[in-house]
Amino acid sequence: MSDGDLDRLFDAPEPAEQERMVEALLFAAAEPMTLRMLAERMPAGSDPKAALERLAARYVGRGVELRRIGEAWAFRTAPDLGFLMRRDLVEHRKLSRAAIETLAIVAYHQPVTRAEIEEIRGVAVSKGTLDLLISLDWVRLGRRRQSPGRPVTYVTTDAFLDHFGLESARDLPGLRDLREAGLLADHAGGGAEPPRGDDDLFG
């Protein structure tokens, strides 16, 4: 490497470029960054303090502002707009295995009674599981079955299709598709076809 190259390497970027760098770094950072942290990331000779000041001025009055937190800096929502974020207060939780299996069985076998779900899963279905799926608006009650006891059946809802990005329940892949997509263990073998036929559960 020649001296000329070295010199160029150590040329600091233009002020406007340094401002862009600080903007990108603070945006992507998972926690507030100190001047020192910024300097470590930026090309040698940069002046993060000056860049920060110009950047802070640019964001004055905007929807987000550059805020100093102790010795560090971070973007924060403008305080007067905090109300917009409040609806975000949602806790994300994964469905239990029992719930997701029950949902899958309803999706594939609808309309299906609780006894049938239990038969397929091989264990009892707790009331809470179906209640949860119903309160999520993924499952609803269908017609009663015209058989002794007239049991209620369960079917999936449009909200279910929406959530799982399906155009219709008919688009659910069949067992063969599952196997081909590698989702079904191969040793399931030929005996595992559902009684109603392979691909076309709803046809």
Partner 1 sequence: MADDFAPGFPSGAVAPESDDAEALRLDIEGFEGPLDLLLTLARSQKVDLRRVSILQLAEQYLRFVAEARRLRIELAADWLVMAAWLAFLKSRLLLPAAPADGGPSGAEMAERLARQLERLEAVRRAAERLMARDRLGRDFFARGEPEAPEDARSTAWGATLADLLKAYAGVRTREAYQPLHMRRAPVYTLEMAFERLRAALPGVRDWATLALFLPHEWIDTPQRRRSAIASTFVAALELARRGEAELRQEAPFAPLHLRPRTP
**Which parts of this chain interact with its own copies (CB under 8 A)?**
19-25, 27-29, 40-42, 61-64, 75, 77-78, 81, 84-85, 87-88, 114, 125-132, 134, 140-144, 149-152, 157, 165-168, 170-174, 176-177, 179-183, 186, 199-200, 202-203
Binding pattern to partner 1, positions 119-158, x when CB under 8 A? xxxxxx------xx-xxxx--xx-----------------
3-state secondary structure of 141: strand
Tokens representing residue 117 in the block: 């779900």
Give 96's DSSP letter.
P
User: Which residue lies nearer to partner 1 by CB, 4 or 182?
Assistant: 182
Residues 97-130, buried b or exposed e (16+ Cβ, 10 A)?
A: ebbebbbebbbbbbbbbbebbeebeeeebeeebb
Give the CB-side neighbour count of residue 181, counting CA atoms within 13 A. Answer: 8
Q: Any contact of residue 29 with partner 1 (CB under 8 A)? A: yes
Q: Any contact of residue 31 with partner 1 (CB under 8 A)? A: yes
72-77 and 33-34 beta bridge pairing: antiparallel
Q: Any contact of residue 42 with partner 1 (CB under 8 A)? A: no
Q: Choose one: 4-12, 35-43, 46-54, 160-168; the region binding partner 1 (CB under 8 A).
A: 160-168
